[in-house]
Structure 1
Amino acid sequence: MSGPVVAVALTPPVRELFFDPADWAALRRLAEVRLPPPGHDVGDEATLARLLADADVVVTGWGTAPLTGGLLAGAPRLRLLAHTGASVKPFVTPESFARGVRVTQAGEAMAYAVGEQALALTLALLHGLHRFDHALRTGVDWARAKAAPPRRELRGATVGVVGASRTGRAYLGLVRALGARVLVTDPYLDDAGAAALGVERVALDELLSRSLVVSLHAPVLPGTVGMIGARELGLLADGALLVNTARAALVDEAALLAALRAGRIDAALDVFHAEPLPVDHPLRALPNVLLTPHESAGTVQSRRRAAGIVLAEIDRFVRGDPLRHEVRPEQLPTTG
């Protein structure tokens, strides 16, 4: 074969979410495109092995099987994994890099969408919309429904951002534009970087104790798993608000449930330790919690931007140009 082969290892619903007809046309101009046979699951290693047999590039997404040693041994031409999402950890193995497979991802496409939803959740919590909605939907009488805890405006409020990631920066830019004072904790952010962002860099404990709203935007790393536990939640003032559109593993779930049941804080959560969230999970019944089903990045524009990044990276790869969103082996532990 003279031209490159791109194996699109995505389920039909995921393909439709990301790639429109113009994207498919652009991809077919770049390479020969291979799709899994109808009814075959790309989460099945045998299906993926057949798809990758003579592929130079694989496009991955939710449900794609990881690149195990066995898969790689049967795909001698494979040289690039282009992921439609942010974290490549579910798909990439050390053996991938050892065999010369480069990795790129489209996480940048999602940053604004996640930041905007975190802003929406912040505003909903500040104005008590979740409590009003819960009260009216569960039959609470009008007078009791109106007797919500004091509501506050974002303008002039202190907002703490845990993690100056791409989503964290998108969020802090939005809340600053609406008049919030912003504190940030991030071990990779120095004073000069904080000054450039217009924020104050502080330690986590200070951020928690000073902030009315705390929004989480950190990756899952050995040092961040469970970083918000009972002690840290205890540093929050009564009536503080917690927003998590990042990863559930950042927060000790039992400690969070205890704080929520005590009524000390309110929370908005887009990520959960168990997904799908069980129907009988206690979070579903609490009036001081706003829940969304891990969809903060799921805007039409975000998906289209991700497809654009994947196409541009494949184009650069085919041309031999440097990739702009490459994940190198040493970066994998810090990609979340």
Structure 2
Amino acid sequence: MSHATQPLAISAPEPRTLHLIFTADALATFRSRYRIVETTPEGVAALPADMLAEARYIVGQPPIAPEALERMKALRCVFNVESNLIDNMPYETLFQRGIHVVTTGAVFAEPVAELGLAMALNLARGIVDADLAFRQGKELWGGDGNRTARLLAGADVGIVGFGDLGKALNRLLSGFRTRTKAFDPWLPPSVLIEHGVQPASLDEVLSTSDFVFVVASVTSENEGFLGATSFAKMRKGAAFILLSRAGVVDFDALMESVRNGHIVAASDVFPDEPLAQDHPVRALPGFLRSAHRAGALDIAFKRMGDMVLEDMDLIDRGLPPMRCKRAERETVSRMRSKPVDKN
């Protein structure tokens, strides 16, 4: 196939870059198979009409106005490599035309789950605080340093949300023989049962768990749905680990529940990022903080490129994409996560 007859792909992956999401070999393969037009998200609509008409793929999540989409006669798939499905394109028209919108967000499931497990173990055993005390010469030896310690093994665990991240977390927890319940209103109970977890209501997950992991996406229905009433239902001393988006919780109520000693908590996400230097959570005892770094591993980013190439190959051969996760007509318009601006 000559260069002139190769399928055209528009590349606008900001805040990602092609060098971030592809290994050197994979990027060479991408460049050898496709004519690639690199631009900014805002520059997509301004591309020449003949270029828009030829584009088979978009790598990125640029805003696409209906009139720009109308000019994209050959478009087959939008590869969202930011991971959040953003309300910036006419999804209904895309679905009507049979154009796929897919996301590579599944690459973050394992790294985020691993950090979530580490956070739970730290809250159970006070690892960070013990290390800081040791550095200051204030360490407590033996049992004196374990007055609030507990085991994760055999504990009652609750998972709020059971998508790719919830499933990855459950796989890690299986080695700890936890008694795990999950709440996810977008899944039938049989899916949870097939993964070895007990379907439960949100109230049951909150009130019967020693560790609660929140891995639910922000949607139009659940923004701020975990508030003061939710935290009050949790067992005293239970651990609350927030791994998905801060928008699902009332963050002030979460801090207050930690401040009054009812629960301990950990979070990789915050209402505003980066967080103000004087934000009270920075100095809150009983709260473990991570700067939205759980999934930001190079190995995860590089898996994105592999997924994109595999699905492009399938689509080129008249088959549906299988590696990336497809946006669904019924749910895509409900997503409310803030787009990331830092890798």
Specify if TM > 0.5: yes
Q: 2:85 aligns with which of 88, 96, 116?
A: 88
After TM superposition, list the pairs within 5 Å mapping 1:297-316 onto structure 2: 297-316=295-314
Residue of structure 2 in register with 1:97 after alignment: 94
Q: 2:31 aligns with which of 9, 22, 28?
A: 28
Residue of structure 1 in register with 2:341 after alignment: none
Residue 24 of structure 1 deviates from its aligned partner by 0.9
Residue 29 of structure 1 aligns to which amino acid in structure 2?
Answer: S
Kindly report the root-mean-square deviation, in angstroms, between the aligned alpha carbons of the 2 structures. 2.7
After TM superposition, list the pairs within 5 Å mapping 1:286-301 onto structure 2: 286-301=284-299
Residue of structure 2 in register with 1:5 after alignment: 8
Cα pair 2:12 2:44 within 8 Å, conserved: no
TM superposition outliers: structure 1 runs of 4+ over 6 Å: none
Cα pair 1:131 1:288 within 8 Å, conserved: no
Q: Deviations over 1:63-84 (max 9, x none)?
A: x542233543565544321112
- The alpha-carbon distance between structure 1 residues 330 and 191, as it changes in their structure 2 partners (threshold 3 A), is closer
CA distance in 2, matches of 1:164, 1:17: 28
- The alpha-carbon distance between structure 1 residues 17 and 109, as it changes in their structure 2 partners (threshold 3 A), is same
3-state SS of paired residue (2:266): strand
Cα pair 1:67 1:96 within 8 Å, conserved: no
Asked if 1:181 is matched to 2:179, the reply is yes
Residue of structure 1 in register with 2:232 after alignment: 234
- The alpha-carbon distance between structure 1 residues 289 and 96, as it changes in their structure 2 partners (threshold 3 A), is farther
Q: 2:214 aligns with which of 213, 216, 228?
A: 216
Q: Deviations over 1:132-163 (max 9, x none)?
A: 355567x584459x767511111111111011
Q: Deviations over 1:177-233 (max 9, x none)?
A: 122111111224444333322222211111111111100111212332112110000
Residue of structure 2 in register with 1:79 after alignment: 76
Residue 300 of structure 1 deviates from its aligned partner by 2.9
Cα pair 2:21 2:301 within 8 Å, conserved: yes
After TM superposition, list the pairs within 5 Å mapping 1:1-336 onto structure 2: 1-11=4-14, 14-36=17-39, 42-43=40-41, 45-46=42-43, 49-50=46-47, 53=52, 54-60=54-60, 65-69=62-66, 71-72=68-69, 75-94=72-91, 97=94, 100=97, 101-133=99-131, 141-142=138-139, 150-324=148-322, 325-333=325-333
Choose 109-118 or 82-91, whichever is displaced more.
82-91
Residue 15 of structure 1 deviates from its aligned partner by 2.6
Cα pair 1:243 1:269 within 8 Å, conserved: yes
Cα pair 1:131 1:148 within 8 Å, conserved: no
CA distance in 1, matches of 2:62, 2:155: 44
3-state SS of paired residue (1:223): coil
| % identity of equivalent residues | 29
Q: Deviations over 1:113-134 (max 9, x none)?
A: 2222211111111111233355
3-state SS of paired residue (1:184): strand
Choose 248-257 or 126-135, whichever is displaced more.
126-135
CA distance in 1, matches of 2:282, 2:331: 36
Residue 11 of structure 2 aligns to which amino acid in structure 1?
Answer: V
Cα pair 2:8 2:57 within 8 Å, conserved: yes
- The alpha-carbon distance between structure 1 residues 99 and 208, as it changes in their structure 2 partners (threshold 3 A), is closer
CA distance in 1, matches of 2:96, 2:8: 18
- The alpha-carbon distance between structure 1 residues 153 and 6, as it changes in their structure 2 partners (threshold 3 A), is same
Residue 239 of structure 2 aligns to which amino acid in structure 1?
Answer: L
CA distance in 1, matches of 2:246, 2:163: 16
Residue 329 of structure 1 deviates from its aligned partner by 2.7
3-state SS of paired residue (1:50): coil
Cα pair 1:66 1:93 within 8 Å, conserved: no
State the TM-score, normalized to the length of structure 2.
0.84
CA distance in 1, matches of 2:15, 2:229: 45
Cα pair 2:259 2:285 within 8 Å, conserved: no
How many pairs are equivalent?
A: 325
3-state SS of paired residue (1:88): coil
Residue of structure 2 in register with 1:39 after alignment: none
State the TM-score, normalized to the length of structure 1.
0.86
CA distance in 2, matches of 1:275, 1:71: 32
3-state SS of paired residue (1:195): helix
